[in-house]
Each structure stands twice: as structure tokens, then as C-alpha cells.
Homo-oligomer: A and B are copies of this chain.
Amino acid sequence: MINQIDLKFDARGLIPAIVQDEETKDILMVAWMNAESFQLTQKTGQAHFWSRSRNELWLKGATSGNFMNIRRILVDCDADTLLILVKPAGPACHTGKQSCFYQDIEIGK
């Protein structure tokens, strides 16, 4: 268990965070965190992200009610990607689907 870690934020000051349902192990979404949103997530246990399109801090669920309650936060071997395990309060995707990953791409073409 790591308390302080030197996360490797990219040139924009961001790190990708994969959101996985702790129970089903489905991948729900991927979003980005800056240092502030990571610290808020770690402190509050609610997923906070940085919106690259709106250039603003974003509490997942603030408008939809579909909060992502954090159960675990993991970091990969080179500390440049986060994996957060959550108990979702509702669908992750803005389309209303449980997961943002609902489109299959054909293989072998």
C-alpha cells in the first residue's frame, strides 16, 4: 500500500484513469486526472476528473447523479496510468449505457 507516490503526469499535467467496476470487473470508462482531481479523488473517495474539452475539474456524477464510489486505486509499474475500482451509482456513459465500451471493432481485416 502506497501513501505518497510520484505519479508521472504527462506534458499536459494529466494521467489517464481506467474505471473498472469492482464487482463485475467490466471496464466502465477512461477519463483523465490532473494533480488536483487525483488528490480530491484520493481524499473524498469520489472520482474527480479533468475535462480536456471543457478545461475544468469535474466530479463524476455531479450533474447525472451517477457517482463513482472509489473502492481501490492502483497504479501501474511505471506510475503513468491509474486503475480505479468503483461501485458505480449508475451508468458510466453519457449515452446511458453501463459502459462507454459498447462498440466492437472487427478483427482480421
Contacts and interface: CB of A to CB of B under 8 A. Distances in A.
Contacts of A59: none
A76 B107 contact: no
Interface in A67-88: 70, 72-78, 81-83
How many monomers of this protein are in the complex?
2
A56 interface: no
A62 interface: no
Contacts of A105: 1-3, 5, 42, 73-75, 82
B3 A109 contact: yes
Contacts of A94: 77
B81 A3 contact: no
Interface of A: 1-3, 5, 16, 18, 20, 24-27, 29-30, 42-43, 45, 70, 72-78, 81-83, 93-95, 97, 100-109
7 contacts: A18-B27, A42-B105, A73-B105, A74-B103, A77-B93, A77-B100, A78-B100
